[in-house]
């Protein structure tokens, strides 16, 4: 069935992303799935080098959103890949009759093959400082500078990233991690226990997310060593690190990737939620989406000192901050008295999260985009008008 699109957001949205749509459900999926109910959305992934001849694989997802995967020949050089991707996207535009489009970037590495393509508006949703990640592509910072010159608006995934980017563009707006509260507050009730969790008896300290260079593996091992009677349950795929590097103890349990729909059931059966992030270049500006999700589920949280966790969650006394295995254990012990059975704690959580939703974040972004008359020609939006614009988007759509 073809979706019925709203006229207020009638132009197409073409997103260029470093993330795979079907990998982990996170910020791009939350936002773009909402856009897809109102307009055509094309989600263009990074290429796969696995075909004899360059081609596009286009698949439909929820609300008619289309995932576009370029397949390029093995051995393609960098310059050839740029030209082939440009040709493939041009052919997509011709076939799908894309003539009025907002380009929505999650990666500056798409700039070389899109800089000459027509865009009515340009949005850079900078959710992470990708140039600081291990094995970041050469030239990423230069392409980001070019993207800043082209972008009408820059959105950031957190306040610390906003502070880093604000001096470099006239229209930067902080949109920290939001939440689908109804999805996660379900974990406060009685949900069936997942079968792979049921066999883990005793106290459970849980984490879900991608297990990669941002995880403090030494910290995880240290916590497990100090409290062999506790179970550390890690849910999520392993990426960009060798599985052989993962700490292995009888009380550390790796349950693999789970769908977004399954997460509340795991949360419901944890005693404490943890965020054992390493403090390094790749985590300097992260704003973990799981922070408000854990809290909405009614779970006490212990985290390392990630800046966008310390402020506001740590400062509000809703997340315990620890820097060593010993501190983590003490914080978890203190956190065990909190959670869904403490009405005062729950009230404080709900008050902090009351105005935090993906619907509101999407609406604010859409209001800013719609207020942009022409790519590269926008003046800074008066923030006193933003709430009115947001309300109009929600009312009309």
Contact criterion met (CB below 8 Å) for 45 and 131: no
Q: How many CA atoms lie within 13 A of 126 on its CB side?
A: 34
Structure tokens at 67: 């995932």
**For residues 116 and 118, what is the distance between their CA atoms, to the nearest angstrom?**
7
Contact criterion met (CB below 8 Å) for 175 and 364: yes
Contact criterion met (CB below 8 Å) for 311 and 159: yes
The domains of the chain, with CATH numbers, are 7-178+357-396 (3.40.50.2000), 181-353 (3.40.50.2000)
What does residue 32 show for φ and ψ, rounded to 5 degrees? -70, -30
| Average pLDDT of every residue of the chain | 90
In this prediction, residues 30-40 reach a mean pLDDT of 96
Per residue in 276-317, pLDDT tens?
A: 999 998 899 999 999 999 999 999 999 999 999 999 999 999
Confidence of residue 132 (pLDDT cuts 50, 70, 90): confident
In this prediction, residues 129-154 reach a mean pLDDT of 86
What does residue 214 show for φ and ψ, rounded to 5 degrees? -80, -10
pTM above 0.85, yes or no: yes
* Cross-strand bridge partners of residue 121: 102
Give the Cβ contact number of residue 168 at 10 Å: 12
pLDDT for position 95 = 97
pLDDT for position 385 = 37
Q: Distances from the Cα of 195 to the Cαs of 1, 192, 201, 269, in angstroms?
A: 36, 9, 12, 11
Give the Cβ contact number of residue 173 at 10 Å: 20
Per residue in 169-220, pLDDT tens?
A: 999 999 998 999 999 999 999 999 999 999 999 999 999 999 999 999 999 9
Angle at alpha carbon of residue 69, lines to 66 and 71, rounded to 5°: 155
Using a 10 angstrom Cβ sphere, with 0-12 exposed, 13-18 middle and 19 or more buried, the burial of residue 350 is middle
Residue 191: name the closest of 263, 254, 246 by CA.
263
Per residue in 56-101, pLDDT tens?
A: 999 999 999 999 999 999 999 999 999 999 999 999 999 999 999 9
What is the number of residues in the chain? Answer: 397
């Amino acid at each position: 069935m073809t979706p019925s699109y709203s006229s207020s957001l009638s132009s197409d949205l073409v997103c260029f992303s470093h993330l795979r749509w079907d990998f982990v459900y996170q910020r791009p999926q939350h936002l773009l799935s909402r856009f897809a109910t109102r307009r055509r959305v094309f989600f263009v992934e990074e290429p796969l080098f696995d075909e004899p001849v360059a081609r596009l694989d286009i698949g439909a997802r929820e609300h008619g959103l289309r995932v576009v995967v370029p397949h390029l020949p093995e051995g393609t050089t960098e310059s050839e890949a740029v030209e082939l991707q440009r040709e493939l996207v041009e052919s997509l535009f011709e076939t799908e009759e894309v003539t009025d489009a907002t380009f929505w970037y999650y990666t500056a590495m798409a700039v070389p093959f899109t800089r000459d393509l027509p865009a009515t508006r340009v949005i850079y949703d900078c959710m992470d400082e990708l140039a600081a990640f291990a094995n970041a592509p050469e030239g990423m910072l230069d392409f980001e500078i070019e993207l800043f010159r082209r972008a009408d608006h820059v959105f950031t995934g957190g306040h610390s990233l906003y502070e880093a980017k604000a001096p470099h563009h006239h229209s930067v707006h902080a949109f920290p991690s939001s939440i689908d509260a109804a999805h996660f507050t379900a974990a406060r009730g009685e949900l069936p226990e997942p079968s792979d969790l049921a066999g883990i008896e005793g106290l459970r300290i849980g984490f879900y997310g991608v297990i990669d260079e941002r995880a403090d593996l030494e910290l995880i091992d240290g916590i497990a060593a100090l409290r062999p009677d506790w179970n550390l349950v890690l849910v999520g795929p392993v990426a960009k690190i060798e599985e052989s590097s993962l700490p292995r103890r009888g009380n550390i349990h790796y349950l693999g990737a789970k769908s977004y729909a399954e997460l509340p059931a795991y949360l419901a059966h944890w005693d404490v939620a943890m965020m054992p992030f390493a403090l390094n270049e790749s985590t300097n500006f992260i704003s973990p989406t799981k922070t408000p999700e854990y809290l909405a589920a009614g779970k006490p949280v212990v985290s390392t000192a990630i800046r966008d966790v310390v402020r506001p969650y740590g400062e509000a006394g809703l997340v315990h901050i620890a820097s060593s295995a010993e501190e983590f254990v003490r914080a978890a012990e203190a956190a065990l008295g909190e959670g869904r059975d403490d009405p005062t704690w729950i009230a404080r959580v709900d008050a902090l999260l009351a105005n935090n939703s993906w619907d509101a974040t999407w609406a604010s972004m859409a209001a800013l985009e719609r207020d942009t008359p022409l790519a590269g020609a926008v003046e800074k939006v008066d923030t006193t008008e933003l709430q009115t614009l947001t309300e109009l988007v929600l009312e009309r759509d």
